[in-house]
Amino acid sequence: MKSLRIAILGTGNVAWHLASTFENQGHVINHVYDRDINKAEKFALDYFNASTSDSLDLSEINAHLFIMALSDDSIEEVAQTLQLPSGSTLVHTSGTVPLNSLGYAQTHNIGVFYPLQTFSKGKSLDFTDIPICIEGESDETIELLRNLANSISHSVHLLNSNQRKVIHLSAVFACNFTNHMFTISKGILESNDLDFDILKPLIVETLNKSFDISPENAQTGPAKRGDMETLDSQFESLSNDPSVAEIYQLVSQNIIDFYQD
Amino acid sequence: MKSLRIAILGTGNVAWHLASTFENQGHVINHVYDRDINKAEKFALDYFNASTSDSLDLSEINAHLFIMALSDDSIEEVAQTLQLPSGSTLVHTSGTVPLNSLGYAQTHNIGVFYPLQTFSKGKSLDFTDIPICIEGESDETIELLRNLANSISHSVHLLNSNQRKVIHLSAVFACNFTNHMFTISKGILESNDLDFDILKPLIVETLNKSFDISPENAQTGPAKRGDMETLDSQFESLSNDPSVAEIYQLVSQNIIDFYQD
Q: What is the pLDDT of residues B228-244, one digit of tens each?
A: 989 999 999 999 999 99
pLDDT at residue B257 greater than cutoff 70: yes
For residue B106, the model assigns a pLDDT of 61
pLDDT at B65: 97
Would you state the pLDDT for residue A182? 98
- Between CA A48 and CA A163 the distance in angstroms is 37
Cα angle vertex A156, ends A152, A158, to 5°? Answer: 140
Residue A113: which of A152, A62, A166, A63 has the closest Cα?
Answer: A152
Tell me which residue of B29, B39, B37, B23 sits closest to B67, measured CA to CA: B29
Q: List B65's β-bridge partners, or say none.
A: B6, B89
User: For residue B118, which residues of chain A lie inside 8 Å, CB to CB?
Assistant: 202, 205-206, 209, 220
Cα separation of B152 and A123, whole Å?
A: 35
Q: Per-residue confidence at A250, pLDDT binned at 50, 70, 90? A: very high
State the average pLDDT over residues B181-191. 97
Touching A: B residues 94-123, CB under 8 Å? 96, 116-118, 120
pLDDT tens for B6-64 read: 999 999 999 999 999 999 999 999 999 999 999 999 999 999 999 999 999 999 999 99
Q: How far apart are CA A59 and CA B73, in angstroms?
A: 74
Distance from first CA to last CA of chain B, Å, rounded? 50
User: pLDDT by residue (tens digit) across A139-167?
Assistant: 999 999 999 999 999 999 999 989 999 99
Has residue B261 got a pLDDT over 80?
A: no
Question: Residue B148, exposed/middle/buried by CB under 10 A (0-12, 13-18, 19+)?
Answer: buried
Q: Verify whether the Cβ–Cβ distance A169 to B210 is below 8 Å.
A: no
pLDDT of the residue at A232: 96
- CA distances from residue B167 to A181, B68, B157, B172 in whole angstroms, order as listed: 14, 20, 12, 9
Q: Which H or E element spans position B50?
A: none
Total residues belonging to chain A: 261
Residue B123 pLDDT: 78
3-class secondary structure for A144-160?
HHHHHHHCCCCCEEECC
Chain A residues with CB-CB distance to B201 below 8 A: 116-117, 129-131, 155
The answer on pLDDT for B193 being more than 90 is: yes
pTM above 0.95, yes or no: no
Segment A186-237, tens digit of pLDDT: 999 999 999 999 999 999 999 999 999 999 999 999 999 899 989 999 999 9
What's the mean per-residue pLDDT of chain B?
94
Flag if B116 and A198 touch (Cβ within 8 Å): yes
Please compute the mean of the pLDDT values over residues A81-90 and round it to a whole number.
92
